[in-house]
Amino acid sequence: MDDRDPPSAASDLQARIDEARRKAAPPPSKAPSPKAVSMRAGIELFAGVAFGLIAGISLDRWLGTAPWLMVVLMILGIAAGLRNTIRAAQEETRKARKDTDTGP
C-alpha cells in the first residue's frame, strides 16, 4: 500500500538517542604517562644529589660526623635519583608497548 518504511526511521532516531547518551557520559580520559614525562631531564638526579648534600651537611654539623653522613647520603641520593629515572623510563616503555598493542 505505502512504500515508506516508518520502523527504520524510528530505529534511526533510537540510534541517534543512544549515540547522544554515549557522548553525554564522560569519556575515560587517557593521561599521557605523566609520571614518565615529568621525571625527565635529570631533575631527579639533581634532586637526589641536592638532598644528599643538604641533609648530609646539616646532619654532620649536628652530630659532628663530617664528612661521612654527607658522603653516604649523597651516594644514596644518587641511587634514589637513578632509581626514579629508571622506573620512569620503564613505565614509559611499558606504556608505549601497551599503546602499540591496543592501538589501531
Partner 1 sequence: MRQFSTAALVLTGSFAVAAGQAAHAAEGGLPQLDLTRFPPQLFWLAVSFLLLYLLMSKLALPRVGDILRTREEKIAGDLNRADQLNRDADAALKGYEQALAEARAKATQIAAQTRATIQADADARQAEAEARLSAQAAEAEASIRATRDQALGQVREIATDTAVAVVTRLLGNQPDGASIDQAVGEELSRRGVK
Partner 2 sequence: MAAGHNPLEQFQIKTLLPLEAGGYDISFTNSSVFMVTTIAVITLFMLLGTSKKALVPGRWQSMVEMSYEAIAGMIRDTVGSGGKKYFPFVFSLFMFVLVANLTGMVPYTFTVTSHIAVTFALAAVVFLGVTIIGFAKHGLGYLKLFAPSGVPLPVLFLLVPIEIISYLMRPISLSVRLFANMMAGHVMLKVFAGFVISLGAILIPLGIFPLAFMVALTGLEVLVAVLQAYIFSILTCIYLNDAIHLH
In the list 36, 69, 70, 81, the residue contacting partner 2 (rule: CB under 8 A) is 81
> What is the CB-side half-sphere exposure of residue 27 using CA atoms within 13 A?
6
Question: Cα separation of 91 and 58, whole Å?
Answer: 34
Question: Residue 61's binding partner, choosing from partner 2, partner 1, none, with beta-carbon cut-off 5 to 8 A by kind?
Answer: none
Please say whether the beta carbons of 73 and 52 come within 8 A.
yes
Q: Contact between 43 and partner 2 (CB under 8 A)?
A: yes
Instruction: Tell which positions 37-76 bind partner 1, by CB under 8 A.
Output: 37, 40-42
Please say whether the beta carbons of 78 and 48 come within 8 A.
yes
If one counts every other C-beta atom within 10 angstroms of the C-beta of residue 67, the result is 11
Q: Contact between 29 and partner 2 (CB under 8 A)?
A: yes
In whole angstroms, the minimum distance from the beta carbon of 73 to partner 1 comes to 21
Q: Contact between 102 and partner 2 (CB under 8 A)?
A: no
Q: Contact between 21 and partner 1 (CB under 8 A)?
A: yes
